[in-house]
Structure formats: structure tokens, C-alpha cells
Amino acid sequence: MKITQAEFVISAAKRDQLPKDALPEIALAGRSNVGKSSLINRMINRRNLARTSSVPGKTQTLNYYRINEAFYFVDLPGYGYAKVSKAQRVQWGKLIEGYLLGREYLKLVLHVVDLRHPPTADDRMMADWLKHFDIPTAVVATKADKISKGRVPSHLKRIRQDLELASDTMLIPFSAETGQGREELWEYIQQSLMP
Ligand code: GTP
Ligand code: MG
């Protein structure tokens, strides 16, 4: 995929702020600090279009990035961050659930997990939920640069088992640092965007 244009569009906190131009959307869901924003930046090869941070829980809105005037990456607020109040968690649930269940332009969810570690309870809950509502999902296991190559297959196997992924669910090892998995993920996204 040749990126000719990538721009930040809006940081939406409410449904009526979502774009109205009917472009298809690829949303990123995952634990806070797992590397969602970094993944977007690597996909479009821009260092800092999507705001990243070493402070977890930064993104609390739906952040829209328009790519090639053709589709949006939607950076969702991360889950599983301990230092978040109960009220914020409820707010998160409403926002995410409303979006994932109600957004007609949503084509694919990239469920981002950490390749280094077994999925957390929150990861498993997210995967169950996406499956339950039959939302098209690919799992991206990021930070692959942080483990040795030899350990990758066993970590992928563990993730597939723990998240109880169907055999035809795509699971892609990825690194925002090295660009590993980028081409494979673009292939999959392009297929998902085809009418
Ligand atoms: P929230 O917006 O808080 O939910 O976090 P996020 O999921 O968007 O994570 P973000 O992209 O901000 O990355 C969090 C930290 O992980 C940053 O310090 C990144 O530099 C680092 N990081 C992300 N992806 C990778 C990767 O593939 N490899 C390595 N080594 N570090 C990564
Ligand atoms: Mg982020």
C-alpha cells in the first residue's frame, strides 16, 4: 500500500462528533500502552502522527486518522489500565461498545496484544466480546522485536489458545520498531476494505 496522504481528523468523545463522510473504518483495540498508536504510525511510516506515550491510559477518545482519502484508522482508548476510576471505566465501556456495535462503517477491528506475554484477563474478555458479536477481527501481536525470533512461534501458539481464536482468524506478529508484519497486515487490511 502506497501512502499518499495521512492526516489526523478528530478526537471524538461523543457519537455526534464522528465523521460523516462514510469512509470505511479500521479500528484498533487493545490494552493501554500495548502499542496501538505506534502501530498506526508504523503502518503509515510517520513517526508521530498518532500520539504515543510511555504513560498508559493517555488516549481517552476515538482518534480518527484519514488515510489516502480512502479509509480511517480509528485509535480506540486502551483498556485494562489499573489507575482509572470506576466511573471512567464505565464511560470507556459505553463509548467502545456503542462504537463497535453501532458503527456501520466499521470494517475490521485490529485487536492488538503484546507478543511477549500471555494475554491478560482483559485481553480474553475483549476477544470473547468481539467473537460474541461477530465483529470481523484480526489479532496483531506487537513488540515482536522484544523477544528472540526462536520464541515467536510458541508465543503465537499461546495467544491463539488463550484467546480461543478460530483457526481462520488472522494472527500477525508485528513490530512498530522494525516494521515486521507491516506488509502482511496491509494485505489483510486491503482485503477487508474491498467492497
Ligand atoms: P494508549 O494510547 O495509552 O492506550 O497506548 P498505545 O496502545 O497507543 O501504546 P503506544 O503506541 O503509545 O506505545 C506505548 C509504548 O510502547 C511506547 O513507549 C512505544 O514506544 C512502545 N512500543 C510500541 N510498539 C512497540 C514495538 O513494536 N516495539 C517496541 N520495542 N516498543 C514499542
Ligand atoms: Mg495510544
What domains appear along the chain, each with residue ranges and CATH number?
A: 6-193 (3.40.50.300)
In one-letter notation, the amino acid at residue 110 is L
CA 151 and chain centroid, separation: 23
Residue 141: pLDDT over 90: yes
Answer yes or no: is pLDDT of 57 > 70.
no
Share of the chain above pLDDT 90, in %: 78
For residue 53, pLDDT over 90 is answered with no
The band of 87, judged by pLDDT with boundaries at 50, 70 and 90, is confident
- Record the cell numbers describing residue 193, joined without a space: 476494505
Dihedral class, residue 21 (left if φ above 0, else alpha if ψ from -120 to 50, else beta): alpha
Q: What is the reported pLDDT for 47? A: 84
Beta bridge partners of 110: 28, 138
Q: At what angle do helices 182-193 and 36-43 cross, to 10 degrees?
A: 90
pTM for this predicted structure: 0.95
Distance (Å) from CA 121 to ligand 1 centroid:
20
Q: How far apart are CA 141 and CA 181, in angstroms?
A: 9
pLDDT in tens, 161-187: 999 999 999 999 999 999 999 999 999
| First vs last C-alpha separation in the chain | 17
Q: Is the CB of 178 under 6 A from ligand 1?
A: no
Indicate whether residue 80 lines ligand 1 (CB < 6 A).
no
Segment 115-126 shows an average pLDDT of: 97
- Ligand 1 pocket test: which of 31, 38, 63, 112 has the largest number of ligand atoms within 8 Å of its C-beta? 38
What number is the average pLDDT over the span 20-38?
A: 96
E strands, the chain, in order: 6-12, 25-30, 62-67, 71-75, 106-114, 137-142, 171-173
What does the pLDDT read at residue 161?
Answer: 98
